[in-house]
C-alpha cells in the first residue's frame, strides 16, 4: 500500500461530512460545503454553489483509480479530487513526493515552454500532441475508463481528444489555443496514468 491512501471512507452527519482515514494515520473530516466550494469544474466556476443549499449534502464517495476520489452530492453534482489535493485541503502533509496533480484549482494557465516538456512514460510525442493507446478487457470497461478520464478532465478544465475502437482508447493531448504540448497536457497525462487499470 502506498502512503497517503484512503483506508476508510465514511459519510457522517447525514451526509454533511465525509471522513477519510488515511493509511499513514490521520482521519480527516471534510464538510460537504467545503468540498463543494473547492470544486473546480466549469459548472461551479460559472455559477458557484450558494451556501446552505441541499447540494452540500454528500451522497457517495468512491475511489477513482489509485490516485483520486469522486464525491457525489445529493443534487447529482459530482467532482473528482486527487488524493494529494484532499490532503492539501485538509492541511495534512503529503507524506510522499507531491505529484503534479496535487492541486484543487484547474491546471495553471501559464505553460512551460514546449521543448522543456518530456512525455510521461508510455506516452509519445506525435506532432503537437501527447498520445497513448490503452487496451482494456472489453468495450464496457473501455467506456467506464473513459468516463473516469472525463471526470478528471472536467476537474482539470483540460479535455483530451479520444478515439474509441471497441476496447481501445487512444488519447491525444494538446493545448489547442497554443498549438503545442504544454504543462496542462503533461499533467492530464499523469492524472490519466494514475487511474489507468
pLDDT digits (tens, 9 = 90+) for 128-154: 899 999 999 999 999 989 988 988 888
Least confident range of 2-6, 94-98, 164-168? 94-98
What pLDDT band is residue 156 in, cutting at 50, 70 and 90? confident
Would you say residue 92 has pLDDT above 70? no
Whether the model clears a pTM of 0.85, i.e. scores above it, the answer is no
> Are 68 and 145 spatial neighbours (Cβ–Cβ below 8 Å)?
no
Give the C-alpha separation, 27 to 17, whole Å: 12
Q: What is the CATH number of domain 6-89?
A: 3.30.2020.30
In the block, cell 498549438 appears at 179
Residue ranges per structural domain of the chain: 6-89, 114-195
In this prediction, residues 106-133 reach a mean pLDDT of 69
**Phi, psi angles (nearest 5°) of residue 87:** -65, -35
**What is the bridge-based pairing of β-strands 17-22 and 68-73?**
unpaired
Q: Which three three-digit cell numbers place residue 126?
A: 506525435
Give the C-alpha separation, 174 to 153, whole Å: 13
- Taking residue 123's Cβ as centre, other Cβ atoms within 10 Å add up to 21
Domain 114-195 top-level CATH class: alpha beta
Amino acid at each position: 500500500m502506498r502512503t497517503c491512501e484512503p483506508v476508510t471512507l465514511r459519510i457522517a452527519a447525514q451526509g454533511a461530512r465525509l471522513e477519510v482515514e488515511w493509511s499513514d494515520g490521520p482521519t480527516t473530516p471534510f464538510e460537504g460545503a467545503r468540498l463543494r466550494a473547492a470544486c473546480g469544474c466549469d459548472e461551479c466556476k460559472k455559477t458557484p454553489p450558494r451556501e446552505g443549499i441541499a447540494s452540500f449534502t454528500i451522497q457517495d464517495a468512491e475511489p477513482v483509480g489509485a490516485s483520486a476520489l469522486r464525491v457525489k452530492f445529493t443534487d447529482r453534482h459530482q467532482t473528482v479530487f486527487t488524493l494529494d489535493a484532499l490532503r492539501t485541503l485538509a492541511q495534512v502533509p503529503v507524506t510522499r513526493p507531491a505529484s503534479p496533480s496535487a492541486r484543487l484549482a484547474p491546471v495553471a494557465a501559464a505553460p512551460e515552454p514546449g521543448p522543456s516538456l518530456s512525455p510521461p512514460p508510455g506516452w509519445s510525442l506525435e506532432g503537437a500532441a501527447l498520445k497513448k493507446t490503452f487496451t482494456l478487457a472489453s468495450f464496457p470497461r473501455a467506456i467506464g475508463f473513459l468516463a473516469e478520464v472525463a471526470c478528471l478532465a472536467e476537474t482539470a478544465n483540460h479535455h483530451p481528444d479520444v478515439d474509441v475502437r471497441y476496447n481501445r482508447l487512444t488519447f491525444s493531448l494538446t493545448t489547442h489555443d497554443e498549438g503545442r504540448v504544454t504543462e496542462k497536457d503533461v499533467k492530464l497525462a499523469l492524472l490519466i496514468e494514475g487511474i489507468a487499470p
